[in-house]
Structure 1
């Protein structure tokens, strides 16, 4: 089994980026990130300032109308996304980094390391995510960042299992055995060759987890 070349991977990425629906998805994601980090670029209305015009329907000055206190609903949605998107990014990154690292070590080294890590994963899977989050918040204290970290730890098990499965699959590939036989350094083989090829399922899982963590955060 030959390892995909750089030119082939670049061609696939170029064809994927030229698809209209994918471009629309990137545009929506960019708009969400813009609203999360610089909400003032999206709307000039103050989400906390109330006007005399209450319960207005959507109009030009108030795209989503106003609430019963006269506050602009669109501004409240945009500024409200700021904390939500940041918390989701932190939660997914925590699960991605910790889970992928554990899965990589378990899949590559095997043996005692694999047994110990997978038993830890089994423990995480057996305990409800809410209980884990509450225990971590009790230790770290309440706050947006601490809540995101607690929710992210709940997804460590999923990332670890997917990464371990991908590493076990790639270890059996002929090009991995050939690279090891030719004397390629272990760190180079793992970081430069295995991880990029295992990134696809991890990226899909991260996208799914982002939606799930958004509901829990």
Structure 2
């Protein structure tokens, strides 16, 4: 898989430099995803049937997330970790992966829901920054080129981009903190049905 863009939304106190090792691990996790298994690159089924008609949104997005999360888990990250990010007694849903359990942790969210879920993910990590529960947060999203071949209405980079000012232009009372978005897409698209990513598949099949 290739990374086509990495957008910084918040970087206070030159935090990106401090957490660059964790960012590099996330990037390697994304780039480690291959299809089919054993290949050196990622090829995605483009949904064209033998009849020549396209199949709408033929691939699931969960296998992509699971492959990256498995890579991070192999490198010491904690997965599906529920953190007390805010000041209320009610905890938000679990973070997909965190680099540690301390307030210097970097959190990763891989988007498998809709655009509302993308907003919640960034807001959840922003709350974690404001309450000094994490030091950095990164959301991973599909590119606009990739989106038509994934689960219908899944959050994607172009759809979220118009709202980046919410985080970039806000004056958060932070001494340090980083929030960013990574955009990904396959190296190749192909009409081989065996490349199809079935929706909801779990495990490490794509690694």
**How does the TM-score come out when normalised to structure 1?**
0.25
**How does the TM-score come out when normalised to structure 2?**
0.26
Q: Which has the larger radius of gyration?
A: 1
Q: Which has the higher helix share?
A: 1
Q: Which has the higher strand share?
A: 2
